[in-house]
Chains A and B, each alone.
Chain A
Amino acid sequence: MSTSLTTLLERAAWIGGAVTLAIGAFAIARQLTVRFTGWRPAELSLPISNNLPPPRLPGWFPRFCATRSAEAREPLGQVQVACLLARCVESAVVWLIGLTLVGAGLLNVWWYGVDLDVVPVAQQRHEFVVLAFLAVTITGLALIGVVWRMGLSIVAIGVLLSAYFSLLDQGTISRRPANEADLAACPIEIRMEDGTVGADVWVNGVLLGQTPLTVTLADWMKLPKWLDAPTTGPDGREVLTTRTSRGTRWLTCVVRPDRRWVSASVPEGTYFLWAEIGGEPLVSAHASHANVSFDGVQWMASPILIQGQSPRWLTALDRLLDQARARDYRIESPDEWLAAMHSFGEGGWRQAMRAAESEPLLNDMLVELLQREIGVTAATTQDEAWAIFERLERQATEARDYQSESRIGRSLELLLPHLDPERLARYAAGIVDGLRWVPSARSWGVLRRGEHESVGRALLPVVSHEHESQTDGNARPTFSTGDLTLSHASVDVTHFRRRDQLARLSFLAHAVWRMDELLDRKETDEAGDNVIERLVVSALLRRGAEHADVRQLVMRLGGSLEDQHLQRWFRDWRRRRPGHEFQFGSEFWRMTQGDQSEAARRWRRQHPDEVLSFAESIGFEENQDFYFGLSDADVSTESLAVRFWPKYREHTMSLQGWPPVRKLAAMWRYLFRMEPYSTPEMYVSAWRTSGIELFLASELQLDDSEIATRLSHDKRKAVIAALTAEAQARLNFAQSDEARRRVAELEEQVAKREKMLRHDIALGPDPVAPRNQKEFLETLIAEAQSELKSAQYDISPRRLAELEETLRQIAALERNAFASRTQRALQRFEYFDDKESAFESLADVMTREIPACPELLELLDSPDPKKRLLAARVIRTHPAPHIRPLLEKLLGDADAEVKKIASETQTEWQRLATEEPGKWLRVTDHKKR
C-alpha cells in the first residue's frame, strides 16, 4: 500500500464514519420525531404513501419509512416495549463489544507500532484516525441496529473488525511502508558528543561544515569513495594510521543501511572523518556509526557522534592533574578545584578517573571532591541521602546516557552507604513492576577492558566478551577503573529515542547492584538474603524471568530466591528442551560460560559433565571465541575451562578453512584466558598439535595487551623458555646422530621389504598365505615411509634452517608480544618515526608504575647520558610523589643537559604546587552549547 493510498484510506475513513453515524442519527431522530410529534415524511408531500415510485430514492426506502411510520403511530404495548428494550440492549452489547475490540486494537497498535512515548505525532494521527473511524462507524451501525436491522448491524460490525484485524496483522495499518524514494532526504546528523559547537568536520576529504551539522543521505552518497584513510590530514600534514593514546588520525565511520528496509541500491560504506577544533585536530578521537533505518513513518539515521578532545584541552587537563600531583593530592580549596574540574565537563571527570586507575591518591582526591559536590558527609541522614539519590537519578535521566564510570556513577557509589537499603529496594521493585517493556539486548554495546567486566545490557551488567564489542559498530570506549562499568555504548535507531529511559534503568540497576554488594557484606536474614535480594530479585523474576537481560541481572544479584529458581531452571531445562532448543539453549549457553552467580558456579561445579555435553551438543562457530567455563578458573585445575581444554584444542584443529597459524593463535588465546592455570606445557602442546614447524611471530596476531594483562612476568618467561626448549630439542634431534641412524634404519627397512615384495622369497607354497604376507609387507612399508616423511625425521638442511629461524622467531616473540608494556613502549620509542607520540606512551607507562618502574630506574642508572636524558624527560611529565625522589638523583647528574632539565623540572613542579587550579577557559572556538 503506497503512502498516497494510505492517505486516501484515512480520508475515506473519516467520510465513511461520518456518513454511517449520520445515517444512524437520522434513523433515531426520525423515529423519535414520528413518535412524539406525529410528523411524518408523507406530510411533506413526499410520494411515500400513495404508491407512486419515489423520484430518486431506492425502492426499499419508502416501504421502510411507511411501515415504520405506521407502526410508530400505534401506542406501545408490553411486547413492543420488550421488543424495543431487546433492540436497545442488543445494540448496546454489539456497540460495547465493538469498542472493546477497537480498544484491544489500540493496544495492539500501541505495542507494535505506536508507543505513545516515542512515536512521532504523524504516526499517532494515522493510527488514531483508523481507530476513530472504527469507533464512529460502530456507533452508527449500533444505532441503525436499534431502529432497523440488528442482524445487518452485527454483520457489518463483524466485517469491519475482521478487516481491521486482518490489516493490522499484515502490518498495513500499524506501519507505513518504507518508500525508498524518500530515502535520499534522510538526514544524517554529525555532532560532538559533548555538544561542542564549531568543530570543523571533513568526510573523505570534503569539508562538510561545523558541528552540529546535518547532511542528507543523497549528499552523503556523493562524497568521494576512499578505500583507506590517507596518511596525511586535510592540511597535508602527516597523521597516524593506527590508534595511539593521543594520536591524531582519520576516524572510521560506517554508514550502515538496515537491510530490513533499505535495498542494495544504498550500499554499506566506510567513510573517513576528520575533525578539528579551532584549527587543531582532535586527539584520542572516535566516531560512532550511522545506522540508516525506517521507523514506520520516516527514514532516520542514528547520529554520528564524535568523541575526542582538542590538544589544548588535554594539555590543560594534564596541567590540572599535575597541579594535584605536585601538591601531593592535597586540596586546600575544594570549591576552586570543583570549579576547575567542572570547567572541563563530563569528559574531564572521565579522563581524570581514568588517570586515577593507577593513582590511588588521585582517586582519593576525586572521591573527596565528589563527596563535597553531592553533599555527602558522615553525618548525612537517610532522608538527605534519598534526596541526593533522586537528584542524581534526574541528572542521569536528563543526560540520556549513563556510565557507571562517570561523575554521576561515582557519586552514586559514594552515596550508597548512606541510603536506606529497604527504601531503595522498594523503589526499584516498584519501577520493575511498572516496566512496560524490557530493552532488547541486541541494541546494547558490550565491552570489556582488560580484566574488568564492562558494559551491561539495559538492565544488566553482564560478563561479556571482547569479540562482541567488535560486532557493534557503535561501541565506544568505556573508562573502567577496575570496577565494573555499567553503561550503554550506543543504541539502534528505535532505542535511540528511549535513551533517557535506558539511562534511568541503567542508573537504577547500578544502584541496586552495588547496594546488594554492600549488603552482602553485612546484613542478611535467616535465608542469607538481604533486602535487595528479597524485594528486587522477586520483582525482576516476576517481571520477566524468561527475559535474558532480566535473568542476567537477577543472577548478578543472587540470593536464595535466585538460587532456588536457577537450580530448578537448570533441572527443568532438559525436560523443556524439546521445542525450546533455541530459547533455552542460548540461555543455558550464556550461563554455562559466563554467569558469575554463586548458583551458576555451584551448578557448573556439580554438573560438569552435563555442561560439557551441552557445550559439545551445540558446537560453536568458526569465528566464535570459545571462552567456555573460563569464569570458573578460580576452582583451579578442576575448572571446566581446564577440563575443556583438550576438547577445545581438538575442535580448533578440526576447523576447516583456518590456516594453522590462526589455529595456534586461537589456542594460545584460550590459554591466555585460562591463566594462571595454563601451564607452559599446554602452550607447547598447542604448538605441537598445530603441526607448524616454522612460525613467524608477526603472523600470530596475538593481543599483546592481553598477554601483558593476563600473564605474569614469570609465566611469560616460562612459556618462552618452554617454547625455546621444544624448538631447541627439535633442532638438536634433527642434528643428532640418533636421528640420522633412525632415518637410515627406516630407509633400510623400506628397501629390504620392497625387495622381499619384488622377489618370490616372500611367497610361500600356501595358496592363501602369500596374499596375506604381501599385504602385511605393504603395511610395514607404508608405516616406515610415513614415519620417514614426518617432520621429526626431516633432517634436510632446509628444515634445519627453518628450526633455527623458529628459535629466532621465539626470541622475537619474547621481545614483542610477550614483552612487558614498558619494554614494548621502549621499543616503539626506539623504532617509531613519530617520536613525540611514542614518547607520550613511554612516559605514560613508565611513570604510572608504583613505586617505580624498573626500566626507568635502569635508564636513570645508565652510564649513557642519552638514556639519563630520556629518563629526565620522562620524569618531567609526572610530578607524582613516587616520582619526585627520582628527580633528586638527576639534580646531581654529571651531564649538564640532564642537570638542566632536572633543574627546570624542579622549578616547574614548585610552580605547579603553588599556583591556582587551572580552569579550562572557553574561547569562541570551543564554545559549548
Chain B
Amino acid sequence: MTINRSLLVWQCRLMLPVTLVAMLFAVGYAAFLPGLLRWHTDYLALLFITIHGWWLVLSVGRPTSGGVAFLYGNGFDRDTLWRHTLLASALAVGTVWVPVAILIWSPLRGVIQSWLYDNPEFSLMAPLETSYPWFLLLGYLVWIPMLHYAWIREAQPFRGGNSGHWLAVAVVVASFTMGNAAPLRQAPPWMINSFVGAALVLSGMLLLAGRRLHRDLEVRA
C-alpha cells in the first residue's frame, strides 16, 4: 500500500480549519475543565465528538462537495481514494486526540488544576481519568466510519440513500441514551468490555462495507 503524499496533503488541507478549531477547543477543555473527566458522565465530550466528526467527514468524505468530487475525476482508483480518506481522517482525529491524551496521561492537567484551581481532586484522582482518552478514541472509531458510510451510502445507485444518515442519527441517540439510562460507572468489567467489543465490531463492519460500497459510488458533483 503506497501513500500518495499529494493526495493526502490535499485531503488534509480540506480538514485544516475544523482540525485547528477542534484542537484548540479540546486542549482547552481538557486542561482547564475543573472536576474529573469521567467518560460515563461527560456528555459534552460526546457532543464534541459528534460535531467534530460530522464537520470532519463533511469536509473530506462527502462525494458531492467540490473539493472531494474533484478527486474522483483525477485518475485515482476508488480503493486508493478510500484509503487516503480514512488516513486523512485518522490524522485529523489524531491531531486533536493526541494532545488531549498527553495532557491527561501526563501530570500536566493535574498541575494546571492544582495550580490554577486548587482542585481537591488533583492529583489524587488523576488515575481515574486514564480511561478517558480511550473513550474519546472509541467514540471516533465508531463515529467517523459511520459518517463516511452514510455519505457513501447516499451516493449509491440504488434506493434508500438516506438510511446511512438515519443510522448515524440512531448511533448518536443510542450513545446519549446509554449515558443517560445506565449508571455505567457501576457496570461490571465484563459488561463494559462487551460494549467496547460491540462498538469495535460496529466500526469494523462499517469500514468494510464502506470500502466495498465506495467502489460503486456515483459522484454527482
| A interface residues (Cβ-Cβ under 8 A, vs B) | 78-80, 82-83, 85-86, 89-90, 92-94, 96-97, 99-101, 103-108, 111, 150-151, 154, 158, 161, 165, 168-169, 436-437, 538, 541-542, 545, 561, 564-569, 571-572
**Contacting pair B177 A103 (CB below 8 A):** no
Using a CB-CB cutoff of 8 Å, which residues 164-195 of chain B contact chain A? 164, 166-167, 170-171, 173-174, 177-178, 181-184, 186-188, 191, 194-195
Interchain CB contact (< 8 A) of A107 among B177, B183, B206: B183
> Which are the 7 A-B pairs with shortest beta-carbon distances?
A568-B120, A89-B209, A104-B182, A569-B120, A107-B182, A83-B158, A82-B216
Q: Which residues of A contact B64 (CB under 8 A)?
A: none
Which one, B10-18, B42-50, B124-132, is touching chain A?
A: B124-132
Residues of A within 8 Å of B181, CB to CB, are: 101, 104-105, 108, 165, 168-169
Contact (Cβ within 8 A) B156 A85: no
Cβ–Cβ contact B186 & A437, under 8 A: yes
B201 at interface by CB-CB < 8 Å:
yes
**B124 in contact with A101 (CB, 8 Å):** no
A96: chain B residues within 8 A (beta carbon):
198, 201-202
Decide: B166 and A542 in contact? CB cutoff 8 A.
Answer: no
A89-B209, A94-B167 known; 15 new pairs, CB 8 Å cut-off, are A79-B216, A80-B158, A82-B156, A86-B153, A86-B209, A89-B206, A93-B202, A107-B182, A107-B186, A107-B191, A541-B124, A542-B127, A545-B125, A568-B119, A571-B118
Min CB distance B36 to A, Å, is 10
- Do B191 and A93 touch across chains, with their CB atoms under 8 A apart? no
User: Which one, A80, A89, A100, A150, contacts B198 given CB within 8 A?
Assistant: A100
Q: Is the CB of B118 within 8 A of A93?
A: no
Alpha-carbon distance A647/B171, docked complex (angstroms): 60
Contact A86 B195 (CB under 8 A): no
| Residue from A86, A545, A566 whose CB has the most chain B CB atoms within 10 Å | A86
Whether the Cβ atoms of A83 and B156 lie closer than 8 Å is yes
Determine whether the beta carbon of B186 is less than 8 Å from that of A565: no
Among the interface residues A80, A100, A103, A158, which one has the most CB atoms of the partner chain B within 10 A?
A100
Q: Are A108 and B183 in contact (CB under 8 A)?
A: yes
Q: How far is the CA of A437 from the CA of B183 in the complex (A)?
A: 12
Docked pose: A99 CA to B164 CA in angstroms: 19
The 8 Å CB contact of B156, one of A86, A97, A150, A561, is: A86
Q: Which residues of B contact A542 (CB under 8 A)?
A: 124-125, 127-128
Task: Find B174's partner among A101, A436, A564, A572 (CB 8 Å cutoff).
Answer: A101
- Answer whether A158 and B170 are a contact pair too, CB < 8 Å, given A79-B158, A100-B198, A545-B125: yes
- Please measure, in the bound complex, the distance between the C-alpha atom of A561 and the C-alpha atom of B122, giving whole angstroms: 10
Majority secondary structure, B binding face: helix
At the interface, yes or no: B205 with Cβ under 8 Å from chain A? yes
Whether A561 contacts B124 in the complex (CB less than 8 A), given A78-B216, A94-B167, A94-B170, comes out as: yes
A452 → chain B closest CB, angstroms: 32
Q: Which residues of chain B are within 8 angstroms of A80 by Cβ–Cβ distance?
A: 158
- Whether B205 lies near A103 (C-beta < 8 A) is no
Evaluate contact between A154 and B167: CB separation under 8 angstroms: yes
Majority-rule SS of A interface residues: helix
Knowing A85-B213, A561-B124 are in contact, say whether A104-B178 is a contact too (CB < 8 A): yes
Q: Are B167 and A82 in contact (CB under 8 A)?
A: no
B77 at the interface (CB under 8 A from A): no
B158 engages A572 (CB within 8 Å):
no
Do B177 and A151 touch (CB < 8 A)?
no
Given A85-B213, A96-B201, A108-B183 in contact, is the A90-B163 Cβ separation under 8 Å?
A: yes
| Chain A residue with the shortest CB-CB distance to B158 | A83
Distance in angstroms from B158 CB to nearest chain A CB is 5
Does A151 lie within 8 Å of B166, measured CB to CB? yes
Counted as pairs of residues, one from A and one from B, with CB atoms less than 8 Å apart, the total is 127
CA–CA, A572 and B119, complex, Å: 7
Question: Which residues of B pack against A, CB within 8 Å?
Answer: 118-121, 124-125, 127-128, 149, 153, 156-158, 160, 163-164, 166-167, 170-171, 173-174, 177-178, 181-184, 186-188, 191, 194-195, 198-199, 201-202, 205-206, 209, 212-213, 215-216
Residues of B within 8 Å of A169, CB to CB, are 181
**Which single member of A85, A165, A436 contacts B177 (CB below 8 Å)?**
A165
- Taking the closest CB of chain B, its distance from the CB of A164, in whole angstroms, is 9
Residue numbers in A under 8 Å from B205 (CB-CB):
89, 92-93
Known: A93-B205, A96-B201, A103-B194. A151 touches B119 (CB 8 A): no
* Chain B hits for A561, CB < 8 A: 124
CB-CB nearest in chain B for A87 = B160
Known contacts A79-B157, A97-B170, A572-B119; is-contact A85 B127 (Cβ 8 Å): no
Write the nearest CB–CB distance from A890 to chain B, whole angstroms.
Answer: 66
27 inter-chain pairs at a CB distance below 8 angstroms, sorted by A residue, are: A79-B156, A79-B157, A79-B158, A79-B216, A82-B215, A83-B156, A85-B212, A86-B153, A86-B158, A89-B149, A89-B209, A90-B164, A93-B170, A94-B167, A96-B198, A103-B191, A105-B182, A107-B183, A111-B182, A150-B163, A151-B166, A436-B188, A538-B124, A541-B124, A566-B120, A568-B120, A571-B120
Tell me the bound Cα distance from A152 to B141 in angstroms: 27
A84 to chain B, nearest CB (A): 10
Q: Smallest CB-CB separation from B198: which chain A residue? A: A100
Q: How far is the CB of A165 from chain B (nearest CB, A)?
A: 5
Minimal beta-carbon separation of B53 from chain A (angstroms): 16
Contact B187 A107 (CB under 8 A): yes
Residues of A within 8 Å of B167, CB to CB, are 90, 93-94, 154
Separation of A538 and B201 alpha carbons in the complex (Å): 36
- Measured in the bound complex, the distance between the Cα atoms of B158 and A107 in whole Å is 40
Given A85-B212, A86-B160, A107-B191, answer yes or no on A154-B120 (Cβ-Cβ < 8 Å). no
Contact of A151 among B127, B158, B160, B191 (CB under 8 A): B160
CB distance from B40 to the nearest CB of A (A): 11
Residue of B nearest to A109 (CB): B182
For A437, list chain B residues within 8 Å (CB).
186
Whether the pair A100, B178 counts as a contact (CB closer than 8 A) is yes
Residues of A within 8 A of B215 (CB): 82
Beyond A107-B191, A150-B163, whether A436 also contacts B186 by CB under 8 A is yes
Measured between beta carbons, the chain A residues less than 8 angstroms from B171 are: 93, 97
Complex Cα gap A714–B203 (Å): 81
| Cα of A89 to Cα of B208 in the assembled complex, Å | 9
CB distance from B203 to the nearest CB of A (A): 10
Contact of B120 among A86, A97, A572 (CB under 8 A): A572
Q: Which residues of A contact B160 (CB under 8 A)?
A: 86, 150-151
B166 touches A154 (CB 8 A): yes
A572-B118 contact in complex given A83-B158, A100-B174, A111-B186, C-beta closer than 8 Å: yes
CA distance A100 to B201 in the complex (A): 12
